[in-house]
A and B are shown apart, each in its own frame.
Chain A
Amino acid sequence: MSQGTSPSSLSPASQAAQTLAFNMKLLAQHEIEGFGGMGEGVGMQLAPDGRRIMWMAHESAPKNFTAIDVSDPRNPKFVVQTDLPHGDMRSNSLDVVGNTMVVAYQTKKFDMKPAGFDMFDISTPEKPKLISHFDASGKFSRGVHCVWFDDGEYVHMASGAADFEPTNDKDDQCYRIIDVRNPSKPTEVGRWWYPGTRKGDQAAPPPRLKLDGGYRAHNTNVYSRQRPDRAYVGYIDGGGWILDIKDKSNIKPVMHWKNSPPFNGFVHTMMPLFSKNLIIATEECVRDNLGDWPKMTWVLNAEDETNLVPISTVPLPSPDSFGKRGGRFGSHNLWENYSAKTAWRSDDIILATFFNGGLRAYDLSNPYQPQEVAYFVPGTPKLSPKGAVQINDVWVDDRGIVYCQDRFTGGLYIVEWTQ
């Protein structure tokens, strides 16, 4: 049977109300005070008083971010929740280093504010204190979609800029590096964009893909401890990039991985597994009911970083079945091996989220044949507008506890591996 077809007569639908679990067990769910639509920004703080605080950006207005005390993963406790200044914006993304948090702001349209990011002092989790705001608004900017803040010194982000006029409105967010060593005065120190996406570029604007997701930066991962001179950037329809950022003011491409066409673009994350010379690349599913299937999680051999070779994709359950479960089904976020003290890291096991396909873990002992070793797909959360859960992001702490979030109503799910 070809992928993408849904012959209802041949296969029964996945029953969305039913929780599916293999080798994983739900410890607790927190519905985030009735605002359980979570984005793709999660960070765990070890607060000065010893509590483990999980900070999460909301998927959409009216809420900005929420903190939940997960010190006891079976009994998560609400700490704080903040509101956005208006409804035509979203935070979606945040990162935490020590007691500092960076929160992205993206507006619905160009030329609105606030568009950029805020830095907060979260030493007292109940009272996040604004340190500074970095303004990325502009005539052709919606601000920041996604931040990467892992070393406490630089914010790497997908962002528009006041002086960035895209050749196509969908190509408005490029890769920007902001020096926050003085947190009260964030300063841009580097920028790179897909050649041809900025007005005035010598290169011609890139060709549009069939579904036209845009040529924008998405995840801009930098692992300062292992490779401070490399940025691993998902560039949506522009594929995946490895960038040389040794000189932040002169960023140079090292590699461009392009898989679309024939695939449907939207490269979201490029995550290196250094000890294995692999890069895991995800494409984000952005359409309901298999509208952009297949959206996969790729395993790329990176022995030669200038020539990434796809060697496998992680096995997903049948689209014939999950395609009918409701909402999106396909790849999205990965557990990204953050360097935080509170984070668990592995080059052998990857965890990824697949919207209605839930959270799934794969063993890459043999990277040519990833093995699914666990999954957790919650049944439809209460009031879900899609009729099925839409697991958006994942975090794994140093105790091995796994956290995942629903994009609409389910909030936070805290899961442990079966022992």
Chain B
Amino acid sequence: MEAPVLGRSALSGRIPVGVVTGFLGSGKTTLVNKLLKRPEMNRVAVIVNELGEQAIDNDLVEVSSEQMMLLNNGCLCCVLRGDLQETMRDLFIKRRNGEIIDFDRLVIETTGLADPAPVMQTLMTDTMLQSQYRLDCVVTLVDAVNGLEQINTLSEPVKQAALADRLVITKTDLVDETKATALEAKLQELNPRAPVKRAVNGEIELAFLIDVALRSMQSRLEDVERWMGPEEHEHDHGHYGHDEHGHKHLHDTHVTSFSLRYKEPFTWNSFSQCMEVLATLRGPDLFRVKGLVNVAGHKGPLIVQGVQHLFHPPIELDKWPSDDQETRIVFITRGIARDTVASLFSAIASIAPAPATV
């Protein structure tokens, strides 16, 4: 029997982080405060912008500092003052020192005007944070009353929605169904792979918001689909070919979502060159990239994720989740068309084709 390899898994050995974002008034505080009180949150640390009164009422057990409080369900609530990176580092160190609860999940509520991209990028660039935490899910809240107008007139809500893994429409009790449906359709256009749910008064099932990203080196097909979103069409492909489906280009916001599939394996060099060119030349418009990449010489797929110009170091899964060993990459971009990316891949592949698999 081969000796088991012990060490830290790049997925299960890191604390999952959920990011709750949404424009001003979208109901983040309401949702987070509701979440805080749930019994399942007993091993969760939450970084909030402010602590609403409804969360505190008699639930406050202990104040370990002016910034941190333990609620009586065991949830650690931490009010963000200053730097998020600093707060996250501090939480991990305090956890390791046994000074706070042994939390095994972190939830971050961003400010309403915040661009969630830097929060996500923090987990890719900060050496200490990157080795202790991993991004699990970006949840974007959109207010049913003002959401549609905000998306049509402002750039922040568009980006917030485009970056999301999960979308939650709030305050649907205050609008008629037509308006809610219109917003839902709009959101699906913007980000067709992110499932959308409605929440009234912050009530939403926790399962919708957690364990979205891959969390095990032995991930299964359904885990991959949960993270990347289901593929909406059948595909055709050839040598470095790509499918022509699933292409949605929205002229009003210029946000596009599409996927590429490749049958032949890449060399890591050619794949990373493609990404490098995109990130260097169009970083700000490359909202989100998620991929399962077949790289020659690797046993399992490489998990690739990027937010704008920054990419997480690739993680190799132990094995392919199914017989389907084709590379699949999902892009959410602002004004970068699918064909543009596809031709870039073809061009680079023609210069440096991958060796045939053995």
Residues of A in contact with B (beta carbons under 8 Å apart): 11-16, 18-23, 317-318, 321-322, 325, 344-346, 348-349, 361, 363, 371, 373-375, 377, 396, 398-400, 417-419
Among A14, A21, A363, A418: residue with most chain B CB under 10 A: A418
Q: Would you list which residues of chain B between 63 and 118 have a CB under 8 Å from chain A?
A: 64-65, 93, 95-99, 101-102
How many residues belonging to B are interface residues under a CB distance threshold of 8 Å? 23
For the complex, give the distance between the alpha carbons of A363 and B7 in Å.
Answer: 7
Chain B nearest CB from A334 CB (Å) reads 15
Please give 16 more A-B residue pairs, beta carbons under 8 A apart, in addition to A345-B3, A400-B4: A15-B98, A18-B101, A22-B13, A23-B12, A23-B13, A317-B93, A322-B97, A344-B3, A346-B3, A346-B6, A371-B8, A373-B13, A374-B8, A398-B1, A417-B7, A419-B216
**12 pairs, A vs B, C-beta closer than 8 Å:** A12-B64, A12-B99, A14-B99, A20-B98, A22-B13, A317-B97, A318-B93, A344-B6, A361-B7, A363-B8, A374-B13, A418-B9
In the assembled complex, B218 has its CB within 8 A of some CB on chain A: yes
Selected contact of A375 from candidates B96, B216, B217, CB within 8 Å: B96
- The distance in angstroms between the C-alpha atoms of A174 and B299, with both chains bound, is 52
Complex CA–CA separation, A399 to B7 (angstroms): 13
Asked if A16 contacts B98 (CB within 8 A), the reply is: yes
Q: With the chains together, A203 CA to B283 CA distance in Å?
A: 71
Docked CA distance A211–B201 (Å): 63
Smallest beta-carbon distance A103→chain B, Å: 28
Tell me, in angstroms, the Cα distance from A200 to B101 when the chains sit together. 58
Q: Which 7 A-B pairs have the closest CB atoms?
A: A14-B98, A400-B4, A373-B8, A321-B97, A23-B13, A12-B99, A418-B12
CB atoms of A377 and B98 under 8 A apart: yes
List the B residue with the shortest CB-CB distance to A320.
Answer: B97
CB neighbours of B1 from chain A (8 A): 398
- Residue in B closest to A325 when the chains form the complex, CB atoms: B98
Quick check: is B131 within 8 A (CB to CB) of the other chain?
Answer: yes
Chain B nearest CB from A27 CB (Å) reads: 15
Question: Contacts A12-B64, A20-B98, A322-B97; is A419 near B12 (CB within 8 Å)?
Answer: yes
CB nearest neighbor in A for B216: A419
Complex interface residues of chain B between 1 and 30 (CB less than 8 A to chain A): 1, 3-4, 6-9, 12-13
CA of A349 to CA of B6, assembled, Å: 7
List B22-48 residues whose CB lies under 8 Å from chain A. Answer: none
> In the assembly, what is the distance between CA of A373 and CA of B101, in Å?
19
State whether A14 touches B6 (Cβ < 8 A): no
Bound complex: CA of A383 vs CA of B41, how far in Å? Answer: 30
Which A residues are in CB contact (< 8 Å) with B13?
22-23, 373-374, 418
CA distance A297 to B39 in the complex (A): 40
Q: Which residues of A contact B4 (CB under 8 A)?
A: 344, 398-400
- A322 near B98 with CB under 8 A, answer yes
Residues of B within 8 A of A345 (CB): 3
Q: Which residue of A lies closest to B96 (CB)?
A: A317
Q: What is the distance, in angstroms, from A105's C-beta to the closest C-beta of chain B? A: 34
Measured between C-beta atoms, what is the minimum distance from B87 to chain A in Å?
A: 16
Q: A245 vs B23: C-alpha distance in the bound complex, in angstroms?
A: 73
Chain B residues near A21: list those with CB within 8 A: 102
Task: Provide the bound-state CA to CA distance between A419 and B99, in Å.
Answer: 26
Minimum CB–CB distance from B211 to chain A (whole Å) comes to 14
How far apart are the CA atoms of A398 and B65 in the complex, in Å? 44
Alpha-carbon separation in the docked complex, A374 to B6 (Å): 10
In the complex, A398 Cα to B131 Cα: how many Å? 27
Assuming A20-B102, A418-B13, is B7 touching A373 (CB within 8 A)?
yes
- A417-B6 Cα distance, complex, nearest whole Å: 7
A322 and B64 CA atoms in complex are apart in Å by 17
* B6 touching A400, Cβ below 8 Å: yes
Give 1 or 0 for each of B280-321: 1 = CB within 8 Å of chain A CB.
Answer: 000000000000000000000000000000000000000000
CA distance A418 to B93 in the complex (A): 20
Alpha-carbon gap, A212 to B338, bound state (A): 73
Q: Which residues of A contact B99 (CB under 8 A)?
A: 11-15, 321
CA distance A123 to B6 in the complex (A): 31
Contacts of B102 in A (CB 8 A): 18-21
CA distance A318 to B7 in the complex (A): 23
B210-227 with Cβ < 8 A to chain A: 216-218
Q: Give complex CA distance A203, B289 in Å.
A: 70
Chain B residues within 8 Å of A398, by CB: 1, 3-4
- Expressed in whole angstroms, the minimum distance between the Cβ of A296 and any Cβ of chain B is 17
Question: Which chain A residues lie closer than 8 Å to B8 at the CB level?
Answer: 23, 363, 371, 373-374
The chain B residue with its CB closest to the CB of A348 is B7
- Report the minimum CB–CB distance from B290 to chain A (whole Å): 23
Closest to B8 in A: A373
Q: For A13, what are the chain B residues with a Cβ–Cβ distance below 8 Å?
A: 99
In angstroms, Cα B7 to Cα A398, docked, is 14
Q: Are the C-beta atoms of A371 and B131 separated by less than 8 Å?
A: yes
A399 to B, closest residue via Cβ: B4
Minimum Cβ distance to chain A for residue B213 (Å): 16
Q: A23-B13, A419-B216 are in contact. Are A361 and B6 (CB under 8 A)?
A: yes
> A415 → chain B, closest Cβ, in Å?
11
Report how far A306 CA is from B34 CA in the complex, Å: 64
Q: Closest A-chain residue to B102, C-beta based? A: A20
Most buried by B among A20, A361, A374: A20
How distant is B65 from chain A, measured CB to nearest CB, in Å?
8
Q: What sequence of 0s and 1s flags, for each residue 114-132 of chain B, a beta carbon within 8 Å of any chain A beta carbon?
A: 0000000000000000010
Among B13, B96, B101, B218, residue most surrounded by chain A Cβ atoms (within 10 Å): B96
- CA–CA, A20 and B101, complex, Å: 8
Residue of B9, B99, B101, B218 most packed against chain A (CB within 10 A): B99
Query: In the assembled complex, how far is the CB of residue B309 from the closest CB belonging to chain A, in whole angstroms?
Result: 27
Nearest CB of chain A from residue B288's CB, rounded to whole Å: 27
Q: CA of A388 to CA of B96 in the docked complex: distance in angstroms?
A: 16
Q: How many Å lie between the Cα of A22 and that of B132 in the bound state?
A: 10
In Å, the complex CA distance between A321 and B94 comes to 9
Contacts of A18 in B (CB 8 A): 98, 101-102
Within 8 Å CB of A346, what residues of B?
3, 6
Residues of A within 8 A of B131 (CB): 371
Q: How far is the CB of B26 from chain A (nearest CB, A)?
A: 34
Smallest distance from the beta carbon of A19 to chain B beta carbons, Å? Answer: 7
Most chain B Cβ neighbours within 10 Å, of A318, A371, A375: A318
CA distance A318 to B96 in the complex (A): 9
Q: Give the distance in Å from the alpha carbon of A20 to the alpha carbon of B216 in the complex.
A: 21
Closest to B132 in A: A22
**Which residues of A are found within 8 Å of B12, using beta-carbon distances?**
23, 418-419
What are the residues of chain B within 8 A of A377 when measuring CB–CB?
98
* Distance, CA A115 to CA B264, complexed state (A): 70
